[in-house]
Structure 1
Amino acid sequence: MKAQLCGLLVAAALLSPQAGLAQGDSQLYDSMQRTGPQTMEGTQAVEVEAEVISVNKKTRELVLKNEDGEKVTVKAPPEVRNFNQISKGDMLKIRYVESLAVEIKKKGTADNMTNTSSEIVRSKEGQKPGGMVVGTVSAIGTIMKVDKPKNAVTVKGPQRTVTFHVQDKSVLDQLKKGDQIEVKYTEALAVSIDSVKR
């Protein structure tokens, strides 16, 4: 989903090593909390700022300085609306939020399935470049095995079977072969450029 951000401004990964949390980072899963007898949820957010050091209107290149003082040059693609509104000294702000909700359904009868959706919002004509990308993936899978000694659960989804570890051991006591798990994963990435008052 984050690749779609080129249509907004730049990839967040260029500004901070913390970006790209959905790509193998375990912090979201470590944050999972029980929210009901059969549900768990986890959320984490990262905010990054970078100062615009220089703007090349002809090549559409920006030199940005992040919070650690590191500089990076990025090129805004043609899809970035209102590029000429960006000025030296402006602040680029990125907020990335991801959430995961899991619901256990005892002996569910729904078909294993996956649904994806995304929404892109861009700034209006004449405003500073910016926007937001929101992507959601919903999936239903069937539990094939519960391995309590290894704190692991094997789930068969619509396309593949995966095994994952569960932090909260008490959750395993509620899981049985044949139960279904419904998962909803959401990413939201917002980018904005604010003018600095001079």
Structure 2
Amino acid sequence: MKTTKGLAIVAVALLAQVALAQPQTDVEVTKGQDQTTVKGFTKMTATVVGIDRATRTVTLKTRQGKVVELEVTEEARNFDQIALGDVVTVAYSESLTVSLMKEKGTASHTEQGTEQRSAAGAKPGGKVGREVTIVADVVAVNHKAKTVTLKGPKGNTVDLKVEDPERLNRIKKGDQVEAVYTEALAISVEPAGK
């Protein structure tokens, strides 16, 4: 899990700095009778314009001209493979699917993670991801306010807005809802001109 944290820290720093540089972002919404899925994808690229091997610092420049300096942690494998002109790509995707369950079960919460680092001697990079599944009980439906109150496995409640009256009419107290949230982050470094 140490690798995941190291890669995530690098990615968050890069995302925070480069986000102002107008990343490519796509959002897709899919609605079924008893299920809705929202998917989002963001991709950003920058070119390596400076490397300080002593401090493990890389200077990146976005296509829009924004310059960012990042310190790369020891957990990031293959730092010595980075070269001037390399292109760093960060891709982040997430999705949320909310489904009305047909069969009643027990409120629950599960989470699983994945991680993958580049091979030794290759350009730095890797992928981290996780999937969280929550089954919650419908404890109230307010047609006037267009809300559904859900109670999770730890007893916490949340009110969700349901704009579609047809969907709201299909939900009743005692039903269960399953929410599956997935996210993945990939960082790759490619030689210039590739």
Mapped partners of 2:127, 2:58: distance in 1: 20
Structure 1 position 16 matched with structure 2 position 19: yes
Mapped partners of 1:171, 1:6: distance in 2: 42
Structure 2: gaps spanning 5 or more residues: none
TM superposition shift of 1:7: 2.9
**What TM-score, normalized by structure 2, do the two folds share?**
0.87
TM superposition shift of 1:5: 5.4
Structure 1 position 47 matched with structure 2 position 43: yes
Mapped partners of 1:86, 1:157: distance in 2: 45
Render the CA deviation track for 1:85-113: whole Å, top value 9, x for unaligned.
Answer: 1011111001111111121024x431111
Structure 1 position 179 matched with structure 2 position 182: no
Using the aligned pairs only, state the percent identity: 31
TM superposition shift of 1:32: 3.5
Quick check: 149-158 or 8-17, which moved more?
A: 8-17
* Displaced runs of 4 or more, over 6 A: none
Aligned residues: 187
Native 8 Å contact 1:10 1:74 kept in 2: no
Question: What pairs up with 1:94-173 in 2 under 5 angstroms?
Answer: 94-106=90-102, 108-159=103-154, 160-173=156-169
TM superposition shift of 1:66: 2.1
Native 8 Å contact 1:50 1:93 kept in 2: yes
**What TM-score, normalized by structure 1, do the two folds share?**
0.85
Structure 1: gaps spanning 5 or more residues: 22-26
Match of 2:30 among 16, 33, 41: 33
Native 8 Å contact 1:65 1:71 kept in 2: yes
User: Could you say which residue in structure 2 is the equivalent of 1:24?
Assistant: none
TM superposition shift of 1:170: 2.5
The 3 A distance-change label for structure 1 pair 38 and 90 is same
Q: CA RMSD in A?
A: 2.4
Mapped partners of 1:5, 1:15: distance in 2: 19
Native 8 Å contact 1:5 1:133 kept in 2: no
Quick check: 170-179 or 135-144, which moved more?
A: 170-179
* DSSP-derived class of the 2:114 partner: strand
Native 8 Å contact 2:104 2:175 kept in 1: no
Structure 1 position 62 matched with structure 2 position 65: no
Match of 2:79 among 77, 83, 87: 83
Render the CA deviation track for 1:127-153: whole Å, top value 9, x for unaligned.
Answer: 000010111100000011112222211
